[in-house]
Amino acid sequence: MAAPGTRARRVSAAVLPPLLFAVFVLGVWQLYTVIGDIKESTLPPPTAVAEALWNDRTMLLENAWVTIKEILIGFFFAIILGVGLAVLIRSSRTVERAIYPWLVVSQMVPIPAIAPLLIIWFGFEMQPKIIVIMLVSFFPIAVNTIDGLRAAEPELLNLLKTLKANKWQRFRKAQLPAALPFLFSGLKVAAALSVIGAVFAEWVGASEGLGYLILVLNNQTATTEMFAVIVTLASIGIALFLIVTLLERLLLPWYYESRESEGEGLHLEIEDKV
C-alpha cells in the first residue's frame, strides 16, 4: 500500500549502508596489501581474489554443485529429524522427559570428532556428509519447534475444544501455525550450520566438493584460490539463508506484516526522540 517512492527509499535504506560498509572494508584491505607489500600467499588483495573467482569458475562451480547437493539433502533431513523429534517430544510428557535431556546431551558430542567413524561405517560417498550436516543442523530446528509447539494460547485450545475440535484439529488449526515462526527461526540458524557441517564432513574424507578443495589448495599454499573457495562457500550460506527468509515471507505473510507494523512504530518513536 505504501507509495512506490517510499518503498524504493526503504529498500535503499536497508541495502545501501551494508554495501557502503563492505566497499569500505574491501578498500582498506586492498590498500593494506598494496602499501604494506604483503605477499599474495599470506593475504591476497580483494582484486586478486576476484580474479581467481573468475579464472577458476569452472572448478569452483563443479565442486560447489557437489557441496550444494550435500547441504540441501542434509538440510532436508535435518528438518525431518528436527520437526519429527519436536512433535514426538510434545506429544507426551513421558516422551518429553525421556528424550529431551538426551537431545541436549547430543549437542555436547563434538560432531566433527565422530565424522571419522561415519566414514568407517558409510564410506567416502555422500551418505556420511549428509549425516554430519543433519547432525549439526537439526538441533536448532528441534529446540525452536518444541518452543513453538508450546506457543499456542491455552485459552485458544480451550476455545477449540468448546467448538468440538478433536486433538488433530487443535494441532492443525492452532498449535502448528503458532509454531511456524519458531520453526523458521530454527531454520535460519540451521542454514548457517549446514554449510559448516558440509566443510567438516568433506575434510574428513572426500574426493570432491568445496571443503575438499580447501584441503588441496592448502597443501599447495594457493592462498588466493582458497579465498575464492571461502567466498563461494559464504555465498552458498547466504543464498540458503535468503531462500529460508523468502519462504518465511511467502508462507507467513501474517507474521511478517504484523511484525512489520509494530517494528515501524518502534523505529519512529526512537527517531522522534533523537
Partner 1 sequence: MQAGSKLRIEGLSKTYRGTGGGENVTALKDVGIEIGAGEFVSIVGPSGCGKSTLFNIIAGLIRPSGGKVLLDGRQPDELLGSVGYMPQRDCLMPWRTVLDNTTLGLELNGVRKKEAHKQALAEFERFGLSGFEKHWPAKLSGGMKQRAALLRTFLAGRDVMLLDEPFGALDALTRANMQQWLLDVWQEDRKTILFVTHDVEEAIYLSDRVYVMSGRPGRVSLDIEVSLSRPRKPEITMSPEFLLLKQKLLRPLEEAAAGGGLFVDDRPTLEEQL
Binding residue (CB under 8 A) for partner 1 from 254, 263, 264, 268? 254
Min dist CB 174 to partner 1, Å, is 7
Binding residue (CB under 8 A) for partner 1 from 10, 161, 167, 267? 161
Min dist CB 154 to partner 1, Å, is 9
Burial class, 127, CB count within 10 angstroms (exposed 0-12 / middle 13-18 / buried 19+): middle
Min dist CB 268 to partner 1, Å, is 17
Whether the CB-CB separation of 70 and 198 falls below 8 Å is answered with yes
Residue from 237, 58, 194, 209 nearest 124 by CA: 209
How far apart CA 137 and CA 71 sit, in angstroms, is 10
How far apart CA 41 and CA 224 sit, in angstroms, is 7
Binding mask 167-186 for partner 1 (x = CB under 8 A): --x---xx--xx-x------
Min dist CB 186 to partner 1, Å, is 18
Q: Is 153 in the site for partner 1 (CB under 8 A)?
A: yes
Single-letter code of the amino acid located at 45? P
Residue 162, CA distances (Å) to 37, 153, 170, 174, 266 in order? 76, 15, 11, 14, 37
Binding residue (CB under 8 A) for partner 1 from 58, 94, 162, 207? 162
Q: Is 87 in the site for partner 1 (CB under 8 A)?
A: no
Q: Is 94 in the site for partner 1 (CB under 8 A)?
A: no
Cell numbers standing for residue 7:
518503498
Q: Is 207 in the site for partner 1 (CB under 8 A)?
A: no
Min dist CB 177 to partner 1, Å, is 4
Residue from 268, 241, 243, 231 nearest 57 by CA: 231
Question: What residue ranges bind partner 1 (CB under 8 A)?
Answer: 153, 155-156, 158-165, 169, 173-174, 177-178, 180, 252, 254-255, 257-258, 261-262
